[in-house]
Amino acid sequence: MVTLELNKMPITDTPTIMLTPGLPPGQYVVQLVVENDKGIMSTPVVTTVTVRRS
């Protein structure tokens, strides 16, 4: 499993990710691009993740 960190682009072959523990509360934009086994990249999918204090 890979951890998403601010301003870094992780590369992984697993379908699971985690946000960096301890991110300050706020909204973060996450973009996902997938590459298939032929090297073809998908269209980016963008979503907003809201981190709240527990």
Angle at 17 between CA 15 and CA 42, to 5 degrees: 55
For the whole model, what pTM was predicted? 0.65
Structural domain boundaries in the chain: 25-54
Longest dimension (CA), the chain: 42
| CA atoms of 7 and 27, how far apart (whole Å) | 14
Q: What does the DSSP 8-state code read for residue 6?
A: T
What is the distance of C-alpha 8 from the center of its chain? 9
pLDDT tens string 23-38: 889 998 888 898 999 9
Q: Is the pLDDT of residue 54 over 80?
A: no
Structure tokens, 7: 């301003």
* Average pLDDT of span 9-24: 81
Amino acid 40: pLDDT: 96
